[in-house]
Structure 1
């Protein structure tokens, strides 16, 4: 206790000194507490860091041990392990590759175009409807020469037709003689010589490409033609647009079915581009058509309905046809009337075919019914065809005895 007798100034000094001393003591004690807390916190952090380092060190040791184990595993097992766990990127790449392959396959199938013939065989007769004038042999040569992209060739025959004497049998995977009776639901309607009845079931040919070309054996190609001559890029059918009156129906029985009526140019002796899927749609729309047409065993007896005309009109209504002009088609019809001596006539025709734009032509059998005249005409035809198509394809038997079959 400070005495009251002290000098006031001294008394004041002592009080201030005492206060400062107490303050110093308090602050010093507080700093000691802070230092202790700081030291505790620092030690805690150090412990945590040390523990993490220990954990990391243990993990590194485990990784090293695992690597040593992997080094002792054979390479084949490593490859299998990698294959069992493919990366997502690889799966996506494989999926894209699969889609591309599928697209390429579809494009490849779409590019396939077959040829389909009907053929009566080699018949020893003077009937101009079915007698053989080397047509099929040289029509095939023309396709071989000018349509090398053709996939397969189907020749629709009656089951009793003899195999062509000039055709090798080891080419049967490319040139296929096909029993036309397989195209008929009613076996009583076949064998038949009605071409329209055969064409009514042509979409049933096993293995036939979706896009194909119907062709008679007396139709020939005279220039190199691409697929674009027959089909557009979007697979529509190219058909010559020349409008002339065409009578489709002769029998009254056809009128009641209300089939599409077509009045474009007659197409019976021209190459006819077709699509199998479109023919199926036609038969779905007119389910009784095939039975009605196929019930006629003869083409000209009581049936004038033109197969391709009724199909094409149906396709045209659905906008599946691309009309083309006659100049683009460049089709030549050899005249139907001939003199007895046709030598000069066919020399002139040969000049036309080799100097002008003739892409394909028809040579119908309108020759003489008199055997002695016909024999001379047939030999002129042989020379004419051989001048146009002199090369013997691999599928033909070289130098067969033709006269043996006439």
Structure 2
């Protein structure tokens, strides 16, 4: 009996052991299966990585090919650009060479004229001309007519007088027709400036840069503005030395004649300085050629501006002046006994006395040359009266009409 119980106990213990062992076996089996799954996943991941590596390798090769293509394209472009620049440079050099040949040919023709020069002295006005449609400030106010009268009266030795005008402006109504003029020659500005896009021009200095091209112009000549007047007899040695060098004249701006202008409400101060503007400028054609030979492209730059602007105007005058000075092609004289009057206009009855004072100053002082710089009212009715006062003043100074004027011109035409 006891043995049976013992056997039963052992059997129960064995069963309990087996029951306890079964979950462990299952866990081990599960772990084994889990490891197999992970290994499979790792294998798949490795395969994916290998696949991406192959794809990246292919893309890298494609990128290398693309990079090489881009580099080749850039090289081709650079080569074409270099060739293009070379062609452009060749064209530029060819164009510059062509211009140089044309310039040399032009200078040769001018030098032939200079060689045949008889030592006479011409006068040149760079007068742009006017039209009635112009503003009051730019209208014709008798300046050129009476400046010519002053030249006719006090510079009878002048050979020819060239007036450089724009073809789109009116012919001076008080001047005889060209075919009836012996001493005066009208020249179209556009015949002097090569580029038709730069014509007509209101830039005096653009014309000045081409003045040496005037056909038949004497070697020595005097450049003069239309608002500059000769006040007493002058001989050629006032403008040129015995050696033929131009005398650069300097004017001392002593004062301005001014009154308060009721229409512009401006006050004008008294100026005192020396300047060579608004004065006759003695010139030599051959000296101007020297300037253009040294600076062959500068004239084209100046001529490309149809109207003046301050920097360009000052620059051109200063450069030419300094060039003559440095090359020893001029004699500087100061003072030149020249006077500048700045005349801001007020009511006509108020300025009559001012003009009487100017007239007295010109007749009693030793002013050889003078300039009248006027400033008219913008009101037409006042401007008309002011113009009459100015006409009486000029006519009082230079009453004799030269033979180049038509008898009794209609001055009201441009009033």
Structure 1 equivalent of residue 211 of structure 2:
202
Question: C-alpha displacement at 1:129, in angstroms?
Answer: 4.8
Of 137, 155, 158, 2:166 maps to 158
1:48-69 per-position Cα deviation (integer Å, ceiling 9, x unaligned): xxxxxxxxxxxxxxxxxxxxxx
Question: C-alpha displacement at 1:173, in angstroms?
Answer: 3.7
Are 1:312 and 2:333 an aligned pair? no
Of 115, 125, 146, 1:117 maps to 125
Are 1:211 and 1:274, in contact at CA under 8 Å, matched by a contact in 2?
Answer: yes
Question: C-alpha displacement at 1:301, in angstroms?
Answer: 7.2
- Is the deviation greater in 304-313 or in 367-376? 304-313
Are 1:351 and 2:351 an aligned pair? no
Are 1:285 and 2:290 an aligned pair? no
Structure 1 equivalent of residue 242 of structure 2:
233
Question: C-alpha displacement at 1:369, in angstroms?
Answer: 1.8
Question: C-alpha displacement at 1:403, in angstroms?
Answer: 0.6
- Is the deviation greater in 156-165 or in 290-299? 156-165
Question: C-alpha displacement at 1:351, in angstroms?
Answer: 0.5
- TM-score normalised to structure 1 length: 0.65
Match runs of 1:1-400 below 5 Å: 109-125=117-133, 127=135, 129-169=137-177, 170-240=179-249, 265-300=274-309, 303-326=312-335, 329-341=336-348, 342-400=351-409
Partners in 1 of 2:247 and 2:308 — Cα distance? 26
Partners in 2 of 1:374 and 1:385 — Cα distance? 16
Partners in 1 of 2:310 and 2:182 — Cα distance? 36
Aligned length: 281
Are 1:240 and 1:265, in contact at CA under 8 Å, matched by a contact in 2?
Answer: no
Query: Secondary structure of 1:231's match?
Result: coil
Question: C-alpha displacement at 1:110, in angstroms?
Answer: 4.8
Partners in 2 of 1:184 and 1:131 — Cα distance? 24
Are 1:242 and 1:325, in contact at CA under 8 Å, matched by a contact in 2?
Answer: yes
Are 2:246 and 2:329, in contact at CA under 8 Å, matched by a contact in 1?
Answer: yes
Partners in 2 of 1:130 and 1:395 — Cα distance? 24
Question: C-alpha displacement at 1:316, in angstroms?
Answer: 0.7
Partners in 2 of 1:211 and 1:348 — Cα distance? 36
Partners in 2 of 1:124 and 1:306 — Cα distance? 32
Cα 1:107–1:292, aligned 2, differ >3 Å: closer, same or farther? closer
Partners in 1 of 2:325 and 2:115 — Cα distance? 25
Query: Secondary structure of 1:305's match?
Result: helix
Partners in 1 of 2:134 and 2:379 — Cα distance? 8
Partners in 2 of 1:385 and 1:214 — Cα distance? 21
> What are the ranges of 5 or more consecutive residues in structure 2 without an aligned counterpart?
1-113, 254-272
Are 2:344 and 2:374, in contact at CA under 8 Å, matched by a contact in 1?
Answer: no
Cα 1:107–1:265, aligned 2, differ >3 Å: closer, same or farther? farther
Are 2:223 and 2:281, in contact at CA under 8 Å, matched by a contact in 1?
Answer: yes
Query: Secondary structure of 1:365's match?
Result: strand
Query: Secondary structure of 2:233's match?
Result: coil
1:199-257 per-position Cα deviation (integer Å, ceiling 9, x unaligned): 0011001100010111111111000000011100101111135799xxxxxxxxxxxxx
